[in-house]
């Protein structure tokens, strides 16, 4: 392969013009930049792009010829496109774009997205620099699928735009939520708005400001800057930009149809004499200057009949062919099952997350109920995600603790790896807490903390850090006698190469991260103790003290906000418990307990339960606490659990505790007799003063 010129350079790779020696044709060759060639995550993303592109034969997605490796450097050979990226073209126009041109661009991109989504893939980085205008055909092509996948990946949000470019991300993408095809539609909506208005509505001075704008700001209505565009087009673009994904078009097909409907209406208006021009064009008196079309003959010149006659309307041209709900499952053994996996019966879905699914199943050999965890097929094709899943299997298999979920078997099919675990009856702690009400008794929080710490001791003794301790990853067994630690997908061992903090979300949950974890620093065992401190605080106060409206705001709160003492939130807590939780939540790791064992000893020293292993249900109050005038005792409690009297008055929320801490709230109101005395004294003193002044004036 003879390289003749460099075409472009990005943060991860460089693209060169080259000559294919076998076929004698010009090609584009994409190479990882030398400084990144040894990075396994970048190599994995680069090769993933090659695999994804090779699956497409679509006029609106760039074609790939082959993928290879030379001298340890992987490369991708692609078709050589003549033309320019959309962002370069927009700069040359120096003006907003006609709405007809915008519709043409939208249709072409939606055709490419329809093909991408039909493969179960999400692009995750639709922006002008990833859209190419082919000079020869005037078609717009979708480029750069290096970050594409069905669900959130592993990359961090950085100023270089990994995981997506902040000003073009969907709100759910910036929050780290699970993504679907509507995330790409939001990004396309930003591009279309920018074409028409001449500016990106969410572009701010830095990435954090852009992400905040995505979450909180609504773009200015287009008709204020472009009164010439059809109302239907404006409505469609603003629906694409809806913060709520449910209000966007359901898929690329419906968005394409809406664009086609706008064009059809304009063509009908032209035939009825609403437009004097022989071509489909914008209003003759546009209030703002507009750019020239993409081609001299106009961007909406007639194409093949199947293109302009609602290509994606009919069932015969369905873009998304029917597919099994879980394509990685094999034929069901029983007719009522979802399917089977490597001989195990798969009965029902228990839950799903960014990395995979968890099913209830039946062990093929022993016939017992099990939980089967399966990595998502698109993630299974990514080496880094597959390694993380297999690492979880190995970590779980190495742990021996009654407070850590037990793994029975790990396996792999031709499509996905999986692991078979014990099937736990009960509920995650977050669900269990919602059933109980806002706050729990101190004894409940202490029991949860002790059991969690026993699990963490086993984890930390194996030189591992969990990195995602939160109520959803703590399981309350059905008999409520034991807590188990779940979900080791983010666990980091002493030789782990995983340096990322955020995942399509986020590697770790922002409102439960330790400050050093949120800052991207190395997490150690004390990071898990900080996360446990948040869980205990939340159980006692009734709310997570760091939960904010966005992931970025939560991480800022973790790093900087000083919490009010639990003694201000409620006054029935043992002082030792308050001090222990405050030490767990110290911003500096050195100020926390040095290990899970020492934290457990501290909780045991204030244990309200003694040595007996009790059920959590025994600790729950059976009636509402009464005031002293009604009862001499505190709330009645099942079993032999402790009776804890609630204070007569306590702040209703963490916020109120902040206010009380600043001295704005008074614990006791001013007595009525004191109010009457003050008023009486004021009246008598005023009469005396008037009498003195009157006598002086008369004398």
Q: How confident is the model at residue 272 (pLDDT cuts 50, 70, 90)?
A: low
Annotated active-site residue 125? The verdict is yes
pLDDT at 22: 66
**Which of 9-18, 29-38, 147-156, 405-414 shows the lowest per-residue confidence on average (mean pLDDT)?**
147-156
| 491, pLDDT greater than 50 | yes
Whether 539 and 580 map to the same domain: the answer is yes
Whether 522 and 591 map to the same domain: the answer is yes
Mean pLDDT calculated for residue range 400-411: 84
Whether 406 and 552 map to the same domain: the answer is no
**Residue finishing a domain among 317, 349, 375:** 317
In a domain, 604, yes or no: yes
Whether 185 and 305 map to the same domain: the answer is yes
H-helix or E-strand containing 254? Answer: helix 252-271
Domain extent for 397: 339-422
Q: Work out the percent of the chain whose per-residue pLDDT is above 90.
A: 21
CA dihedral 590, 594, 598, 603 (to 10 degrees): 40
Mean pLDDT calculated for residue range 117-135: 87
Tell me how far apart the alpha carbons of residues 59 and 51 are, in angstroms, rounded to a whole number: 18
pLDDT at 490: 54
Tell me how far apart the alpha carbons of residues 284 and 289 are, in angstroms, rounded to a whole number: 11
Mean pLDDT calculated for residue range 640-660: 43
Whether 463 and 394 map to the same domain: the answer is no
Whether 87 and 63 map to the same domain: the answer is no
In a domain, 645, yes or no: yes
Mean pLDDT calculated for residue range 96-121: 89
**How are beta strands 140-142 and 339-341 bridged, if at all?**
unpaired
Residue 155 DSSP one-character state:
P
Tell me how far apart the alpha carbons of residues 148 and 163 are, in angstroms, rounded to a whole number: 9
**Which of 181-190, 303-312, 322-331 shows the lowest per-residue confidence on average (mean pLDDT)?**
303-312
Whether 162 and 305 map to the same domain: the answer is yes
Q: Which one is catalytic: 108, 125, 282, 498? A: 125
- For 95-104, write each residue's pLDDT tens digit: 778 888 999 9
Q: At what angle do helices 442-461 and 525-541 cross, to 10 degrees?
A: 170
- Tokens describing residue 65: 């010829």
Mean pLDDT calculated for residue range 631-642: 33
H-helix or E-strand containing 113? Answer: helix 99-118
- For 192-216, write each residue's pLDDT tens digit: 999 998 888 888 877 777 888 888 8
Question: Considering only CA atoms, which of 404, 343, 401 is closest in space to residue 372?
Answer: 343
Q: Which of 87-101, 157-171, 238-252, 468-482 is the most confident on average?
A: 238-252
Question: Considering only CA atoms, which of 518, 466, 474 is closest in space to residue 493?
Answer: 466
**How are beta strands 474-477 and 483-485 bridged, if at all?**
antiparallel
pLDDT at 507: 58
- Tokens describing residue 60: 């609106």
| 628, pLDDT greater than 50 | no
> CATH code at 159?
1.10.510.10
- Tokens describing residue 689: 């003063």
**How are beta strands 502-503 and 344-352 bridged, if at all?**
unpaired
By the 8 A CB rule, do 112 and 52 touch?
A: no
Q: Which of 248-257, 292-301, 362-371 is the most confident on average?
A: 248-257
**Location of structure tokens 């099913």:** 359
Tell me how far apart the alpha carbons of residues 329 and 159 are, in angstroms, rounded to a whole number: 39
Q: How far apart are the first and last CA of the chain?
A: 118
Average pLDDT, the chain: 75
| 268, pLDDT greater than 90 | no
Whether 470 and 546 map to the same domain: the answer is yes
Question: Residue 571 half-sphere exposure, CB side, CA atoms within 13 Å?
Answer: 11
Mean pLDDT calculated for residue range 258-282: 64
The predicted model scores a pTM of 0.49
| 314, pLDDT greater than 80 | no
In a domain, 331, yes or no: no
Tell me how far apart the alpha carbons of residues 460 and 453 are, in angstroms, rounded to a whole number: 10
pLDDT at 178: 81
SS (H, E, C) 297-359: CCCCCCCCHHHHCCCCCCHHHCCCCCCCCCCCCECCCCCCCCEEECCEEEEEEEEECCCEEEE
Measured CA distances, 148 to 22, 50, 144, 175, 472 (Å)? 31, 11, 8, 17, 28
- For 544-575, write each residue's pLDDT tens digit: 999 988 788 888 889 888 888 898 888 889 99
**Residue finishing a domain among 63, 79, 95:** 79
Q: At what angle do helices 596-605 and 442-461 cross, to 10 degrees?
A: 160
By the 8 A CB rule, do 661 and 655 touch?
A: no
Cα 545 to chain centroid, rounded: 19
Tell me how far apart the alpha carbons of residues 10 and 49 are, in angstroms, rounded to a whole number: 15
| 159, pLDDT greater than 80 | no
Residue 451 sits at φ, ψ, to 5 deg, of -65, -40
Cα 115 to chain centroid, rounded: 25
> CATH code at 20?
3.30.200.20
In a domain, 96, yes or no: yes
By the 8 A CB rule, do 453 and 596 touch?
A: yes
Q: How confident is the model at residue 493 (pLDDT cuts 50, 70, 90)?
A: low
In a domain, 129, yes or no: yes
**Which of 130-134, 269-273, 419-423 shows the lowest per-residue confidence on average (mean pLDDT)?**
269-273
By the 8 A CB rule, do 227 and 286 touch?
A: no
**Location of structure tokens 């029975």:** 408
**E strands present in 94-176:** 131-134, 140-142
Whether 262 and 352 map to the same domain: the answer is no
By the 8 A CB rule, do 698 and 606 touch?
A: no
Whether 506 and 458 map to the same domain: the answer is yes
Q: How confident is the model at residue 354 (pLDDT cuts 50, 70, 90)?
A: low
Pick the residue with more confidence: 487 or 312? 487
Pick the residue with more confidence: 253 or 55? 253
In a domain, 573, yes or no: yes
- For 446-488, write each residue's pLDDT tens digit: 999 999 999 999 999 888 888 889 998 999 987 657 899 987 7
In a domain, 179, yes or no: yes
Pick the residue with more confidence: 451 or 303? 451
Q: How confident is the model at residue 286 (pLDDT cuts 50, 70, 90)?
A: very low
Whether 75 and 94 map to the same domain: the answer is no
By the 8 A CB rule, do 399 and 458 touch?
A: yes
| 648, pLDDT greater than 80 | no
Residue 647 DSSP one-character state:
P
- Give the total number of structural domains in the chain: 5
Whether 450 and 532 map to the same domain: the answer is yes
Q: Which of 81-85, 88-92, 577-581 is the most confident on average?
A: 577-581
**Which of 33-47, 148-162, 484-498 shows the lowest per-residue confidence on average (mean pLDDT)?**
148-162
In a domain, 29, yes or no: yes
**Residue finishing a domain among 396, 422, 448:** 422
| 151, pLDDT greater than 50 | no
Tell me how far apart the alpha carbons of residues 20 and 66 are, in angstroms, rounded to a whole number: 11
**How are beta strands 356-362 and 344-352 bridged, if at all?**
antiparallel
Question: Considering only CA atoms, which of 142, 106, 148 is closest in space to residue 124?
Answer: 148
Question: Considering only CA atoms, which of 149, 40, 125 is closest in space to residue 379?
Answer: 149
Q: How confident is the model at residue 55 (pLDDT cuts 50, 70, 90)?
A: low
């Amino acid at each position: 392969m003879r390289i003749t010129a460099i075409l472009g350079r990005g943060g991860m790779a460089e693209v060169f013009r080259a000559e294919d020696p076998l076929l004698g044709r010009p090609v584009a060759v994409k190479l990882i930049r030398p400084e990144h060639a040894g990075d396994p995550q970048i190599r994995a993303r680069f090769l993933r792009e090659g695999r994804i592109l090779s699956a497409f034969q679509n006029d609106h997605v760039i074609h790939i010829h082959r993928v290879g490796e030379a001298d340890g450097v992987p490369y991708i050979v692609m078709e050589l496109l003549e033309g320019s990226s959309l962002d370069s073209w927009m700069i040359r126009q120096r003006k907003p774009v006609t709405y007809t041109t915008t519709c043409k661009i939208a249709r072409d991109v939606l055709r490419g997205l329809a093909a991408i989504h039909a493969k179960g893939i999400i692009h995750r980085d639709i922006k002008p620099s990833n859209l190419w205008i082919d000079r020869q055909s005037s078609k717009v092509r979708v480029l750069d699928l290096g970050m594409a996948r069905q669900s959130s990946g592993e990359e961090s949000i950085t100023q270089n735009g990994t995981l997506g470019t902040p000003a073009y991300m969907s709100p759910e993408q910036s929050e780290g939520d699970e993504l679907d095809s509507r995330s790409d539609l939001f990004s396309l909506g930003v591009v279309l708005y920018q074409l028409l208005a001449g500016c990106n509505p969410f572009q701010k001075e830095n990435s954090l400001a852009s992400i905040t704008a995505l979450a909180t700001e609504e773009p200015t209505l287009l008709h204020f800057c472009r009164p010439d565009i059809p109302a239907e087009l404006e409505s469609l673009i603003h629906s694409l930009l809806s913060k709520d994904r449910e209000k966007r078009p359901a898929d690329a097909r419906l968005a394409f149809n809406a664009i086609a409907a706008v064009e059809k209406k304009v063509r009908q208006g032209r035939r009825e004499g609403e437009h004097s021009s022989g071509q489909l064009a914008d209003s003759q008196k546009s209030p703002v200057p507009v750019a020239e079309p993409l081609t001299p003959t106009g961007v909406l010149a007639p194409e093949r009949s199947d293109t302009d006659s609602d290509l994606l309307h009919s069932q015969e041209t369905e873009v998304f062919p029917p597919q099994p709900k879980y394509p990685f499952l094999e034929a069901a053994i029983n007719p009522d099952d979802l399917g089977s996996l490597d001989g195990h019966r798969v009965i029902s879905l228990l839950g799903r997350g960014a990395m995979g699914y968890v099913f209830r199943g039946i062990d093929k050999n022993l016939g017992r109920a099990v939980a089967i965890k399966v990595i998502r097929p698109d993630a299974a094709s990514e080496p880094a995600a597959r390694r993380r899943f297999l690492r979880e299997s190995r970590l779980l298999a190495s742990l021996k603790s009654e407070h850590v979920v037990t793994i029975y078997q790990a396996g792999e099919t031709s499509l996905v790896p999986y692991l078979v675990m014990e099937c736990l009856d009960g509920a995650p702690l977050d669900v269990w807490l919602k059933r109980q009400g806002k706050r729990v008794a101190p004894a409940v929080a202490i029991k949860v903390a002790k059991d969690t710490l026993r699990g963490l001791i086993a984890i930390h003794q194996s030189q591992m850090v969990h990195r995602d301790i939160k109520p959803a990853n703590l399981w309350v067994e059905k008999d409520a006698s034991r807590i188990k630690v779940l979900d080791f997908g983010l666990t980091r061992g002493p030789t782990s190469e995983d340096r990322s903090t955020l995942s399509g979300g986020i590697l770790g949950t922002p409102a439960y991260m330790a400050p050093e974890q949120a800052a991207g620093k190395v997490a150690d065992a004390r990071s898990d103790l900080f996360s446990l401190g948040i869980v205990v605080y939340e159980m006692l106060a009734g709310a997570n003290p760091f939960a904010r409206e966005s992931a970025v705001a939560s991480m800022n709160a973790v790093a900087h906000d000083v919490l009010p003492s639990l003694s201000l939130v409620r006054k029935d807590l043992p002082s030792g418990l308050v001090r222990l939780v405050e030490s767990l939540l110290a911003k500096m790791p050195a100020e926390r307990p040095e290990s899970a064992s020492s934290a457990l000893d501290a909780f045991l020293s204030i244990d309200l339960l003694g040595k007996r292993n009790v059920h959590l249900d025994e600790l729950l109050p059976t009636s509402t606490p009464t005031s002293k005038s009604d009862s001499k005792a505190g709330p009645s409690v099942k079993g032999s659990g402790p009776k804890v009297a609630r204070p007569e008055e306590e702040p209703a929320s963490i916020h109120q505790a902040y206010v009380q801490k600043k001295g704005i709230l008074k614990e006791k109101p001013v007595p009525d007799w004191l109010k009457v005395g003050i008023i009486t004294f004021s009246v008598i003193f005023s009469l005396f003063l008037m009498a003195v002044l009157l006598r002086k004036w008369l004398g």
